[in-house]
Every structure is written in structure tokens, then in C-alpha cells.
A and B are shown apart, each in its own frame.
Chain A
Amino acid sequence: MTALAHSFADASAPDLAKLEPATLHHQVAQFLYLEARLADTHDYDGWEALWTDDAIYWVPANGDDTDPEKEMSVLYDNRSRIGVRIRQLKTGRRHTQTPRSELARVISNIEIAEVRGPEVDVRANVLIYEDNLRGDTLWAARNTYRLRMTDDGFRLVRKKICLVNNNKPIYTLSFLV
């Protein structure tokens, strides 16, 4: 159990609202930086372990307010498909990631949107610089996250990546975004 998880009197139902706003913001930011680093460095197992069983990993297309159950998304993975995606990357024959993209991403404008018991909704902006065989690509997105406090610290329940140009043709997006 992490130190933060320990700090809740009732660990089975931690209430994030009881944390000081600055403390919560700091802890959330630390988690987002960890997730970003694991993605940038292609630490596939470490990144996959961040997700809860009810996870949704979503990159909408043609706007940010689409219904992913009815409309096409660039990526709309449940936990099972996240697993397939990771296993494919680990075969070494995911050609679009062989050689791997070189990545550096910057996360900023982190805002706590809503706190509900053990869960917190977060907004952040991200810029990702990708270098691969084709050349350099700059990706920009407004992300929303839902994190859940568990015995092992924060875990990712939901990550929605709203690429600012998602209504236009985009290049292959095969790294962990």
C-alpha cells in the first residue's frame, strides 16, 4: 500500500475530497508524469499495469463529443483490447513500432475537474513530439483522465485523448498516446 493510500482512515473507501487541494493536485500530477514517462519510454508492462479492469482508452475522431458506441473513433479500447495492443507491441513485429518512435511529451494545464470519493476527474493539455522513420510529428491534445485511488495508489480508469486535429487526416498513431 502506498503512503498516500495509507493516509486514508478507511482505506476501503478513500475519500479524495478530504485531501488538501494542493496535495491532491500534486499527487495527480505525479501520477500523470509517471504515466507519460512509461509511455514515452515504451515501458509496455509498466504502462499496462496502470489500468483498472473497467478501463477505457479512447481517442475520438471527428470532434470531442462523439458517441464512441455509435461513431468511429481512432482508438476505443476496453481493458481486454489494451492487453492485445500491448501484446502486439511486445511481439517485436509491430512494424510501425519497429524501430520504435522516439518520444518526448509535455503535460501541462493540469486541472482537477471533479472529485467523487476514491475517483478524480482531471483535465490536462499535452504536446507529444514524435520522431520515426517518416520524420517528425507534433501531436497536440486536450486530455481528460479518470483516476481511482486503490491500495496501490492511483490507477487509470479512463483516458480520453482529444487530438486538436481529429477532424483531419492524421498520420499513423501507433505509440502509446
Chain B
Amino acid sequence: MPHAAVSEAAQAHDYRALIEPARINSRLYYDPAIFQEELEKIWYKTWVYVGHTSEIPNKNDYVTKSIGPMPVLMVRDREGEVRLLLNKCPHRGNQLCAYQKGNRTSFTCPYHSWTFSNTGDLMGYALPEGYEGQSKAGLNLGKVPRIAIYRGFVFGSMAAEGISLEEHLGGAKAALDQLLDNSPTGELELTAGFLQHRTKANWKFMLENETDGYHPGFVHGSVFQVTSSGIGSLYGADSTALTRDYGNGHTEFDLRPEWRKHDKPLQWFGTTPERLPEYVKSMNAAYGEERAREIMIDGSPHVMIFPNLFIAEIQIFVLQPVAVDETIQHVTAVQFKGAPDINRRLRQQTMGSVGPAGLLLADDTEMYERNHRGAQILDPEWLVLSRGLHRERLDENGYRIAHSTDETPQRGIWRHYLNLMTEAR
């Protein structure tokens, strides 16, 4: 009888009556029963981003990650294999590991000294004569049933069966490739640690905003005013940047049309080849001058991989819902393996712009929290996502695109959400 209370609540929600193609009901953000059902039908079912292999470079490294509210130990075991273990002693349910990260071959529960190998297997318990004649079978640590790694990005799914990670990523996989093309080694090294930004708002406000090109001119107008970044124009009426719906809930803010128009390498990062000579040299050596130039013009992607991995050109965000009205934004700087000069600037710009004190994200987060408080006001109960309906079209790959300020991504997110929430179990 799993989740009896949830199932009852679920029957009370007809999601088709809460989600229309271009408007949604406010209740979706604040109803605790809907949040519980999202855990069951999204977070503990679909592919969720957990962490990056570069965070556990050595055998026996581990780091505490999460799938939804639930903590997960991402471990590189004694054989070098990446595993996702659940941080719960199977004896009496005690939290097994209390640390964020470390290196160890086994985990010992402090409660009754049950000890587990970093493969998850029960090695032994204290005072074993008390279990005489009993088998250790079935007393291993819980595991995330499915794990899949795409070029270092580790995803987990709490469902034993379902579509493959590649199917789930679909067209958005190309955005991950675009990111990694910007590395002279084709690899990332996420070694700078994460900032954790506590946000008193529902997770879907963040999911929707990450590829909202309508807000920056207003929410971030203060930054555009006091810095000469020149990025404000990307969010204006004349911008050639695009919003894109990749399907499966993945969305993108595609700046490449603007960068290609300007045709200047590294303009996407607000700099020039002269200022990053070592990086440019290593890119030329890795890809050849012609291809390296193309990569450095296109820059890094701005893509939201449903439900929780946001690549914001130079940052990697991981969204973690912990309650209907609370979300943690984990964020770190993109770091390219073998590119120290650009990495330093990537860290500096990341620290300035995101996290709890960031010049950009503190204002986004202020909006999320006001969004959440506003959503609970009863009238009007429907919120509008109709921007750009008349100019939405398909790109050469069949994905919906529209103007940089249009709500094509948000409509795509809700289309996928509706599918997940109404899927037969």
C-alpha cells in the first residue's frame, strides 16, 4: 500500500483542468498535495541530474548529493565505479554519513556500528552472535535503481524501468556537447565547490525562469546600468536570440544567432582572444583554428535540462526542491579541464553574479519568493503564458522556437509536466 494518502490526494487533482496550453492555475505552485505527487511522478521517477564525475576523481571519493529532497551518496567505489547509494542504515533507518564529502572505503553507522562497503554491501555488524542463524542478504544499502552517465554528467532514476537517459535528453544532448566543446580537453572539472542558495519558493518558478528571456531587461536592469556588459540588448525587441522547446521539458535560450552576427570569438564571455591567450592556444591546438573559432563565437549554452540541471553559460545550477515552498539552488562555476586562465575568470564572474549575494541571482531569487507569495492570492487564479504564440515556429530539427522574449519554453515545460502528472502508473 505505497503512498495511500498521496494517491487519495492525487485523485482530487485533475491536472488537465489546471494546465491549458497557454495558461496555468496558480494552485500548481503552492498546493502541498501536488508537491507530494510531483515527488512520486517526477522526482522519484524520471531521470534527475545528481552530480559530475569530476567531483569524485579518485577511488573511494564520495560526495553528498540529492534526488529531490532525498540525500544521495555519489561514490566512486574501490573498483572505480560510480555508484549512487542511499544514506540510510537499513537496520533502524539512521542517517549513515553525516559529511558533505570525503574519501573512505566503508561507512559505519554510528548507532549500532553496522558497516557497509562503499559498494553498498553490508560487511558486518557489532555483536554478531545476536543474529545467529540469520542471513545478511537484503541488508545492503539502498541504491538508486538506475544510473546513467553522459560525458561526466551523472543522472539517476528512482524508477527501475523507463526510457534511457539518451532518449530523455533528446535534442538537449546537443547543448551538453556544445558546453563541452568549449573545453580544450572536452571535459569539465567541477572542483570549486557549490554555493547553496536557500529560496522560499516553489521549484517550478526557477525551472520556468531559467530560460525566460523576457525578465532580464527588468529584473537585471540595475546590473546592465552599472556595468558596461552590453548584454542588455540581447533581451530587447530587436534581439535575434531564440527561445527553444526541446521537448521532454528541456528548454533553451539560444544566443548563437546574436554571437554569429557579431562574429567575434569570446564575445559570449565578454572578453577577447587577446585577454585569454593560453585558452585560445589550447583551443586551436585541440580543434584546429577554424573549428576553434566557431566554438568560441557560439560560446557556451543556456539550457535547462528538466527537471533540475541548468547550464547558464558559465555556471552549473542544480535545483533541489525540499518542500512545496522551499528550493535550494546549488551553483558552481563551469571549469574546463586544462584551461586555468579562463577558469579563473569563470570563477570570478560566477562569484560576482550568482549565489546568495550575486548581483544577478539575488534579484531573481527575490522574484521567485514574490512569485510564490503572489501565487497564493486567490484571484486571478490563472496565470498567463501566451507571449509569442503568434510567432512560434519550428526550427530545422522540428523543435519549437520563438523570439528571445517569448514564453515558448514555459509552455513546453508545462506540456511535459502535464504528460508526467497524468501518465498511467
Task: Please give, as numbers and ranges, the residues of chain A lying within 8 Å of B231 by CB-CB distance.
Answer: none
Q: Is the CB of B196 within 8 A of A170?
A: yes
Residue A134 lies at the interface, judged by CB distance under 8 Å to chain B:
yes
CB B220 to nearest CB in A, in angstroms, measures 9
Residue B91 lies at the interface, judged by CB distance under 8 Å to chain A:
no
Contact among B193, B344, B369 with A66 in the assembled complex (CB-CB below 8 Å): B193
Residue B367 lies at the interface, judged by CB distance under 8 Å to chain A:
yes
Task: Please give, as numbers and ranges, the residues of chain B lying within 8 Å of A73 by CB-CB distance.
Answer: 351
Q: Is the CB of A133 within 8 A of B192?
A: no
Closest to B328 in A: A169
Task: Please give, as numbers and ranges, the residues of chain B lying within 8 Å of A95 by CB-CB distance.
Answer: 219, 222, 363, 366-367
Residue B370 lies at the interface, judged by CB distance under 8 Å to chain A:
yes
Contact among A62, A66, A88 with B222 in the assembled complex (CB-CB below 8 Å): A88
Q: Is the CB of A172 within 8 A of B356?
A: yes
Do A71 and B359 form a contact, CB below 8 Å, given A84-B227, A88-B223, A88-B226?
A: no
Task: Please give, as numbers and ranges, the residues of chain A lying within 8 Å of B351 by CB-CB distance.
Answer: 72-76
* Beta-carbon contacts under 8 Å, A58-99 to B: 59, 61-62, 66, 69-77, 81, 84-85, 87-88, 91-96
Bound Cα distance from A133 to B366, whole angstroms: 9
Bound Cα distance from A171 to B359, whole angstroms: 14
Q: Is the CB of B332 within 8 A of A72?
A: yes
Residue B260 lies at the interface, judged by CB distance under 8 Å to chain A:
no
Residue A167 lies at the interface, judged by CB distance under 8 Å to chain B:
yes
Residue A174 lies at the interface, judged by CB distance under 8 Å to chain B:
yes
Q: Is the CB of B359 within 8 A of A72?
A: no
Residue B198 lies at the interface, judged by CB distance under 8 Å to chain A:
yes
Bound Cα distance from A74 to B194, whole angstroms: 10
Residue B100 lies at the interface, judged by CB distance under 8 Å to chain A:
yes
Bound Cα distance from A92 to B221, whole angstroms: 10
* Beta-carbon contacts under 8 Å, B351-407 to A: 351-352, 355-357, 359, 362-363, 365-367, 369-370, 373
When A and B form their complex, which 8 residue pairs have the shortest distance between CB atoms, in order from nearest?
Answer: A169-B198, A169-B196, A96-B366, A87-B226, A93-B222, A91-B222, A75-B357, A173-B356
Chain A residues with CB under 8 Å of chain B are 59, 61-62, 66, 69-77, 81, 84-85, 87-88, 91-96, 133-135, 167-174, 177
